[in-house]
Each structure stands twice: as structure tokens, then as C-alpha cells.
Amino acid sequence: MPPFNPQQHNSAITSKTVAIIGGGPAGLMAAEVIARAGFKVDLFDAMPSVGRKFLLAGVGGMNITHAEAFDDFVTRYAEAMPWLLPYLTAFNADTLRDWVQGLGVETFVGSSGRVFPTDMKAAPLLRAWLHRLRELGVTIHPRHRWQGWNAAGELIIENKNIIENKNIIENKNIIENKNTAPNDTLLLKPAATVLALGGASWARLGSDGQWVSLLREHPNFISQPNAIRDLTPSNCGFLTPWSALLKEQFSGAPLHTIELEIALPAGGHRRIRGEAIVSEYGLEGSAIYTLSALLRQQLENTRTAQLTIDLLPDQSHERIVQLLQKPRGKNSLSNFLRKQLNLSPVKMALLRELTDKNTMADMPKLARAIKYLPVKFYGMRPIDEAISCAGGVTAQALSPKLMLNALPGVFCAGEMLDWEAPTGGYLLTACFATGHAAGLGVADYLSTVNT
């Protein structure tokens, strides 16, 4: 794959200005592509600074993408894969790593295949990126919140700086002087707009999902009920009623080296290896997140969801039966299982929590429970606690270049689009890829309308 080079799409410098709403990875990437294409870019973000959720994702290690083979990589987007494939092909994991390197940040591949900056931090990458954008002439307006469109089709942007400081600031680039607008409101007529407003998780960092109602209330969307799917939690924890004893003794305990198995809607099962965490309310962690779409679908269909846990995936059922048939002597059951199977205390606690006394006393039944321990879930954690969201602007509402069919000149990118993916670098990669695609779409659109 050749290095990332938006300059291949350069056009003559024009006075046309593009408004980008949202300063996460998708919005910032769109800004870079559009600015390199020769257009003036004004980026508006409701928060005091951009990239806040991006920085949070870097706490504990900035997982930028994943190094697995592309054919496997794209399957992580499940039913959205056919739609996202062109964007992920044009801006794949290798392209993203080249782009990061171009900012002066080296990356490495971890043992799990996840890709990280060498210093594991997000802040240096974001600082270098913002420096590049300033050099390209991108103007960033923090504390400016988009409030939809007025009857004239102008963007309405609330200037929080004016509201709080009572100090009118004039943006000479794209503000039209209108007596009808309050001093704290900007009315903008950009040549094109990119919406990159995120989902509805971690609202305190800026993505609160309020854009859904702003789009749905637009006259052009009233007759298009399928243009936006409701936002729902993804990569989140799931609820099961643990006993008080389990919550008190093992809340926060990690489940290492397990395999989870879940039934597929069309038949068969999916089995994954990973780790999870016993929380006060149920289970969370990377393995649970990977199956969150399937668990959520079960909950939507039947109000309950179920999977099984293999507590000892490296031991066969037959081998476990053999070990459990050895004389126990004076050992308690807990000590016997610890000595024979090396079961951790939290795995022992789950066995006791999710089986009955008869199973614990019957070694063949116990062996099966160790390999197929059933867990039922009765709900999900709130969307604001989720790492990401499902739902959003659907593929049918967009052109292949990510322009809204109902609003020519308005493009969408990032997590506000209707796709989801597990953690592991897939979320960020698709945000970058769709931001890149929307940026190219804007450049092509403005070049077309300019001729």
C-alpha cells in the first residue's frame, strides 16, 4: 500500500470554506484531507479542546490499529463490512501506521497484534497532528456547539465563549452579518459541511448523541425513518445478578485465559479466546466486548442473553475428568480443584455461583461445567458508559462518498455512522478511514460544483 498522500487530490486554491462539526479523529482527518486539497477549513467543537475521547482512549496505552491480515481485519465490522470495505481499503491499518509515522511518531506491534505508538501515549500524536493542521491553515473553534440549521439552510452554531464571557468575537471567514442572529450565535453558509459528531458514549467528552434529533427534525429527513438507527451501547458491560458474597469478594477480579461461546442467530456457535472482568453488576472486558453485538441482539429478541465460559480452554474435557477422578483424600474441594486443575479463586467462585451443590459434588458434571459454564444476562450498562455505540446514519442515507442524499453538500464520518467493531484498534481505524473518505468526498464535490 503506498503511503498516505492526500495531495494526490489537490485542486486550485479557492476561497470556498468548509465547516467541520466535531474534533475527534474523523473530523480532524477530514480537515486534513480537505485542507490539503486547497480549501479553507473551519472546525467547530463543543468542548474546550479537540480530541478528548481520543486522549482517553490512550490512557493505559494508545491502541491505534491492528496488524492482522486485511482479510481478517475487515471481518471485525460484521454486517457493516461490505459498506466500510472501500473506505478501509483506501485507508487501511498500514496506511494509518504510515500516516502516524509521518507525524514523527513510531509504532510497534504488540504480542496480541495490536499496534501502539512506541511511547504508548496519545497526547504527543495529537499535538503533532494539530501542529500540522495549523500549518495547513485549518482554524479550530473550541466551545462552539452546532445546533442544527435554520429555515434558510444555514448552520446554527452556539458560541459558548460569547455566552460565558459576554464578549462578541467575529469570525470573518464564513460568518454572515445578520441582525436576526443573537450575538452568541453564528449563522454559517459554508460551501460544504462534514458532520463528525461521534456516538453517545462518554458524553462528558463531547459525544452525547444530540445530533440524532437535529437530523431527524430536519424537513428533508421527516419522510426518511430509516436514515438513522437509534444509538445503542456497544463494547459495554452486561448485567447479571451476582450474589452479595461474589460482589464483595471478587468485584474487579480478572478472568484470565478463558474462552467464550455464544449461539449465532443463523445457527452454529462463535467461540473466542480472551479475558474478562467480574464487575459488581456482571461481566465486562475485551472478550465480552467482542461479543457485545450478539449479546445485545439476544436481549432485544428475548430480553435475556446467554453464553458459556470455558474456564480451562487448554485442557480437554476428558483430561479434566481424569484429573477429577483422582483420590481427594483430606483436601477440601477448593484445595483439590486448585491442586489438580490450577483453578484461580475467581474461577472457583464463578463455579459455585453458577452451579448447584449436586453439580459440585458430581465430578463428571463438574468437569462439564468447567468447560461449559452458562451465564445469563438481563441487560446492558447505560450507553454513556459504553466504549462505543451501534446505530447512527445508515448506508442507505449516504452516497458512496459519504454525502447525505437528503442534504447535498453535507457529509458524515466516524462513529456517527451505522457500524460497530470490537476494541483492539478497529474503532479508531474506521473513524480515520471514514474521515479520510468524507474529506475526499468534499474535495470532489467542491471541484465538481466549481466547474
Phi–psi pair at 361, nearest 5 degrees: -95, -15
Quick one: cell of 366?
463438574
Quick one: cell of 91?
485507508
Residue 211: how many other CB atoms lie within 10 Å: 25
Q: Is 254 helix (H, G, I), strand (E, B) or coil?
A: strand
Q: Which stretches of the chain score pLDDT less than 70?
A: 1-15, 162-183, 450-451
The dihedral sign for the CA sequence 66, 68, 74, 75: negative
Q: Are 234 and 390 in contact (CB under 8 A)?
A: yes
The amino acid occupying position 354 is L
Nearest to 76 by CA among 398, 334, 329, 426: 426
Contacts of 222 (CB under 8 A, 6+ apart): 216
**What's residue 222's pLDDT?**
84
**What's residue 183's pLDDT?**
58
Quick one: cell of 153?
439552510
133-160 pLDDT, tens per residue? Answer: 999 999 999 999 999 999 999 999 999 8
Order of strands, edge to edge, in the sheet holding 17-21? 139-142, 40-45, 17-21, 192-195, 410-412
**What's residue 317's pLDDT?**
93
**What's residue 346's pLDDT?**
95
**What's residue 15's pLDDT?**
53
- Residue 27 and residue 431: Cα distance in Å, rounded? 9
